[in-house]
Amino acid sequence: MEELLQQVTNGLAIGGVYALVALGYTMVYGVLRLINFAHGELFTLGAYLGFTFLTSAALGPRLGTGWGLLLLALLVAGLVAVSGALLERAAYRPLREAPRLSAVVSALGASIFLQNALMLGWGARFQVYPDEALPTSAVTLGGTRVPVVRLAVILVSLALMAALWLFVNRTKLGTAIRAVALDRDAARLCGIDVDQVVRAVFLVGPALGGVAGLMVGLTYGQIGFTMGWSYGMKAFTAAILGGIGNVPGAMLGGFLLGLAESLGSAYVSSAWKDAIAFVVLIVVLLVRPTGILGERVAEKA
């Protein structure tokens, strides 16, 4: 029982990161019907920016604790959001009216470009967050020791997702985003500035991804320029699992995938961890081809 509780916590902490990254994929897909393959690299950028701020002599000591961490998260989210918007302007907007395949190829190119830029900027070796910046305290929950940082990851991801849900469902811009996702041309006819909506999506999605990268750095310490690939792959899977294009679906998919991984590796076999996660995906897609919360309507012509 104690082990089960521990494994559920482990799974939720991993799932929280997947869910945050998955939101970026799903928002872009919802609005543009485009898989932003470079999203994983924006996540990595978040991890590296956090590393740079924490190791810088001037800022490091101030950002490492308490409110400093909040400031650090805002700083990282802001910079990654700007990078996301620049990426959209440079790699996707010129291809907005082009066949969808061109945009996919451009996304792949952007991913490779960003990954190599990260390698040139920060080096090919992995980097490690400074020890004193990593929170080490733990709390005891139901007899098991849970590091605070893991609980924080779960809580912060839930809070960010709730904020995103409110933004999409309760604000004017959020309504515009949903309108463009539903039908871009009709939305434009209603006077919605589609470019502004797309820019908003490319600010919010990458900001969440960047914060996820920062949280991975703070949790595990070690970051590398290729880390976006494995996390991006899993988050993409989570987005599909929950129903791509659907915001609550991405959250659900992320947590489910994290749980499937941790429970599968605990009670079946750790060597088959990834296989179990993907079997879950295949089974879900066989039963519900649009994902768990995906809309059942056929894609509009």
Tell me how far, at minimum, the Cβ of 263 lies from other proteins, in Å. Answer: 8
Residue the block writes with tokens 């749980």: 259
Is 145 a residue that touches other proteins (CB under 8 A)? yes
Region of 55-63, 71-79, 203-211, 214-222 interacting with other proteins (CB under 8 A): 214-222
Closer CB to other proteins, 133 or 201, in the complex: 133
Helix (H) or strand (E) holding 239: helix 227-242
- The size of the chain, in residues, is 301
User: CA–CA separation, 18 vs 213, rounded Å?
Assistant: 10
Pairing outcome for strands 222-223 and 127-128: antiparallel
Region of 25-33, 78-86, 125-133, 157-165 interacting with other proteins (CB under 8 A): 125-133
> Per-residue contact track with other proteins, 72 to 111, x per CB under 8 A?
----------------------------------------
Residues 6+ apart with CB under 8 A from 179: 186, 187, 190, 192
User: CA–CA separation, 161 vs 112, rounded Å?
Assistant: 28
> For residue 232, which of 114, 119, 85 has the smallest C-alpha distance?
114
Position among 97, 131, 185, 299 found at the interface with other proteins (CB under 8 A):
131
Residue the block writes with tokens 């733990």: 138
Tell me how far, at minimum, the Cβ of 128 lies from other proteins, in Å. Answer: 5
Six token digits for residue 127: 């980097």
Interface residues with other proteins (CB under 8 A) are: 3, 6-7, 10-11, 13-14, 116, 119, 123-126, 128, 131, 134, 136, 138, 145, 147, 150, 216, 219-222, 224-227, 229-230, 261-262, 265-266, 269-271, 273-274
